[in-house]
Amino acid sequence: MPEIDTTADGVQVTGYLAAPDGAKAGMIVIQEWWGLNDDIRAIADRYAAEGYVAIAPDLYHGTLASEPDEAQKLMGALDRNLASREIDAAISYLKSQHGVTKVGVVGFCMGGGLTLAAAARPTSTADAAHAYYGVPFLSPDELATVHCPVMASFGGEDAFTPADQITALEQGLTAAGVENDVKVYEGAGHGFFNSGGGHHEAAAADSWERAMSWFGRHLA
């Protein structure tokens, strides 16, 4: 599948495009702190195989990290306002240029936090979201502005996602009247959906089945 370099709503969007014939809906796949690597491309391909036209925006604009210290620096230097505009523009591009009426957002770690932010951001037109071990969590004020159904998946052994914050996320979404599906996988750690060392087969498989059902209902 090709790389993409386009402009939507006056914002340049670069990244990876996986476009099946006759797509039923759209999907934005948001990178981890490593950048737009082969793992994220493979996830976009996986959604495309299920009938979603998927864009994985390159939020680091061509830079990749291979070591945690480097990834930490890249994440810390990310212009989150620009990243948010690029995600919003990618959604707009799919809706205007690929014939889909609904677009979901799925993200991992840093991308999970950006996914939660997209669900709450007034400028976003995301129709459903799935945040994998997403940090940072939404504030109480942000929870009150969530405008689409939110699914979230966490590992019970993930030190970056404290149990009390996961509970607060679920309770806050419910209190705000937002349909949600928040699940913690005991025995799984951070990055359990990754193909690398943190992979947890049972948690990854179950979260994928939940995602297919979730997006199948909310993006139909």
Q: Model confidence over 63-78: pLDDT tens digits? A: 999 999 999 999 999 9
Query: Maximum distance among all alpha carbons in the chain?
Result: 44
92: containing domain: 3-218
In this prediction, residue 1 carries a pLDDT of 56
The residues near 123 (Cβ < 8 Å, ≥ 6 apart) are: 84, 85, 88
Query: What pTM value is reported for the model?
Result: 0.97
Q: Which residues, at least 6 apart from 116, have a Cβ–Cβ distance to it below 8 Å?
A: 129, 131, 134, 137, 138, 142, 150, 152, 169
Whichever domain contains 142, its CATH number is 3.40.50.1820
Total structural domains within the chain:
1
The band of 185, judged by pLDDT with boundaries at 50, 70 and 90, is very high
Residue-level pLDDT at 157: 96
Mean pLDDT of 9-14: 96
Indicate if the pLDDT at residue 113 is higher than 90: yes
Residues of the chain with pLDDT > 70, as a percent, come to: 100
Q: Give the pLDDT band (50/70/90) at residue 29.
A: very high
* Alpha-carbon gap, residue 54 to 169, rounded angstroms: 27
Whether 99 contacts 23, CB under 8 Å = yes
- Tell me, what's the pLDDT at 195? 87
Q: What confidence score (pLDDT) does residue 65 get?
A: 97
3-state secondary structure the chain: CCEEEEEECCEEEEEEEECCCCCCEEEEEECECCECCHHHHHHHHHHHHCCEEEEEECCCCCCCCCCHHHHHHHHHHCCHHHHHHHHHHHHHHHHHHCCCCCEEEEEECHHHHHHHHHHHCCCCCCCEEEEECCCCCCCHHHHCCCCCCEEEEEECCCCCCCHHHHHHHHHHHHHCCCCEEEEEECCCCCCCCCCCCCCCHHHHHHHHHHHHHHHHHHCC
| Average of per-residue pLDDT values in the chain | 96
| pLDDT, tens only, 128-180 | 999 999 999 999 999 999 999 999 999 999 999 999 999 999 999 999 999 99
